[in-house]
A and B are shown apart, each in its own frame.
Chain A
Amino acid sequence: MPNHPFEEHIPGLRRYARALLRDRTRADDLVQDTLERALNKFSLFRRDSDLRAWLFTVMHNVHVNQIRSASNRMVTIEYNDSEMTPARGGDVTALHDLANALERLLPEHREVLVLIGVEQFSYEEAARVLDVPIGTVMSRLSRARERLSILLEGGTAPQLRRVK
């Protein structure tokens, strides 16, 4: 049986899911939910468009729905101060700090940073994946990078807390 066209995109989807959720099992659960939803909706995929971008769009929607239903209209992000240790020592610590910082960003900031910086989507593609105007992608990217810089410089930024 030939490989399913989704198969070659699974590693990339896993990488993005790991950025969104950090925990490996939860991230792979998100990939699995994404694949299942994409299979059910595959007939809606336009053959002239990019399959990879479409799969990321599906993952974005699944993730957003999960966040919404989990928080039931209230999104609260709280940080554990004990994790706010500034970078020190070798690469492993630096990566650990980066992972912590990434986790502290707003979900929409995390998404643009990774879609553009790691998944190498263009701004237009990222706008389509997230279903927002390109101007929103640009402003989120700018804020996300400033915010990440502050977090990586030692966690002196005010605690971020959002209640919607």
Chain B
Amino acid sequence: MTEKPRAVSDEELHAYVDGRLAAERVAELEAWLAVDAEAAERVRAFQAQNRALQALLDPVLNEPVPPRLTETVQRPRRALPLRAAAAIAWLALGGIAGYALHDWRTPPVVTAQFAERAAVAHVVYAAEVQHPVEVTAEQESHLVQWLSKRLGKELRTPDFTPFGYQLVGGRLLPGDKGPAAQFMYQDSHGARLTLYVSAAGEGAQSSAFRYEEEAGTRVLYWVDRDLGFALVGELDRTRLMDVAHVAYQALNF
């Protein structure tokens, strides 16, 4: 081999140390290490770090587990709330997990029907190629004014660009207590996220975030004063939660 081996990136060095480098690249990288003493030294140092960390921490595995920890998981779940028990039963049946994230002892002020409506609206319109929205983001101020007027509440479009989602536009929909608004967002891969808003009805109280899986999609919903909000998408739950926090802050005025 007369050709000089291809240079390696820092990332590849670490991947090699961790045994995560693609097999076909290992030989090339080892050829490079043979000529780059400094890189070889770093590799040795990082491998030694992994071994030392294992030597430091692995003995914990051989310690007897404190009884309080095993008891925590063995103890029958006292006062397992009915809703959670029902949710687990549903899961066991391969059904939909309907489960409030926080504070499941208080009855939800927005019902699961609200989440379901938001999920169905998402599934129907997020799949729409030609007409995903009635009013596009180009007319954002008109869109917000129009939907605010129809719902009789001041609405806003939260900025989800930090998560890579741009506003596509919005539409008016029938909700179970009057008109509902749907704002649609999309990322650079075409994945869509919708924010569904409608009046929460008389006597509604602000609530914690609640999570449901509905119609094959994920819904985080909450009530802030007299409006119900649902954020719907295919994101994983923690990410959806992050986006929901931003939405909550933007809409809580």
Q: Which residue of A lies closest to B88 (CB)?
A: A43
Number of A-B contacts (CB under 8 A): 107
CB-based contact A94/B52 at 8 Å? yes
Q: Which A residues lie within 8 Å of B56 (CB)?
A: 95, 98-99, 102
- Give a binary string over A81-109; 1 marks a CB under 8 Å from any B CB, 0 the rest: 00000000001001100110010000000
Q: How far is the CB of B222 from chain A (nearest CB, A)?
A: 16
Q: Which B residues lie within 8 Å of A154 (CB)?
A: none
A35 partner, pick from B57, B73, B91, beta carbons under 8 A:
B73
User: How many chain B residues touch A (Cβ–Cβ < 8 Å)?
Assistant: 41
Q: Which A residues lie within 8 Å of B61 (CB)?
A: 11-12, 14-15
Chain A interface size, as a band, is 35 or more
CB-based contact B52/A98 at 8 Å? yes
- Give a binary string over A134-160; 1 marks a CB under 8 Å from any B CB, 0 the rest: 000010011001001100100000000
CB-based contact A43/B53 at 8 Å? no
Segment 77-104 of B: residues with Cβ below 8 Å from A: 77, 84, 87-88, 91, 97, 99, 101
| B211 interfacial contact with A, CB 8 Å | yes
Q: Which B residues lie within 8 Å of A36 (CB)?
A: 72
- Give a binary string over A13-55; 1 marks a CB under 8 Å from any B CB, 0 the rest: 0110011000000001001100110011111100100000000
In the bound complex, what is the Cα–Cα distance between A59 and B54 (angstroms)?
20
CB-based contact B49/A43 at 8 Å? no
A148 partner, pick from B20, B49, B58, beta carbons under 8 A:
B49
Q: Which B residues lie within 8 Å of A42 (CB)?
A: 88
In the bound complex, what is the Cα–Cα distance between A31 and B84 (angstroms)?
23
In the bound complex, what is the Cα–Cα distance between A35 and B74 (angstroms)?
11
A142 partner, pick from B10, B57, B211, beta carbons under 8 A:
B10
Segment 64-93 of A: residues with Cβ below 8 Å from B: 91
Chain B interface mostly: helix
Q: Which A residues lie within 8 Å of B45 (CB)?
A: 145, 149
| B129 interfacial contact with A, CB 8 Å | no
* Contact of A131 with B238 at beta-carbon distance under 8 Å, contacts A14-B63, A47-B91, A149-B49 already known: yes
| B156 interfacial contact with A, CB 8 Å | no
| B37 interfacial contact with A, CB 8 Å | no
CB-based contact B57/A18 at 8 Å? yes
- Give a binary string over B6-47; 1 marks a CB under 8 Å from any A CB, 0 the rest: 000011001100101000000000000000000000000110
Q: How far is the CB of A96 from chain B (nearest CB, A)?
A: 9
Q: Which residue of A lies closest to B211 (CB)?
A: A44
A116 partner, pick from B18, B66, B238, beta carbons under 8 A:
B18
Q: Which A residues lie within 8 Å of B70 (CB)?
A: 7, 10
In the bound complex, what is the Cα–Cα distance between A40 and B53 (angstroms)?
32
Q: How far is the CB of B244 from chain A (nearest CB, A)?
A: 14
B54 partner, pick from A41, A91, A118, beta carbons under 8 A:
A118
Q: Which residue of A lies closest to B61 (CB)?
A: A11
Ordered by A's residue number, 24 sampled pairs between the chains whose C-beta atoms are within 8 Å are: A7-B74, A10-B65, A10-B69, A11-B60, A15-B61, A32-B68, A35-B69, A41-B101, A43-B84, A43-B97, A44-B99, A44-B237, A95-B56, A102-B56, A113-B49, A114-B53, A117-B50, A122-B20, A123-B20, A131-B242, A142-B11, A145-B14, A148-B49, A149-B45
Closest 6 pairs (CB-CB, A-B)? A117-B50, A4-B73, A15-B60, A43-B87, A11-B61, A35-B72
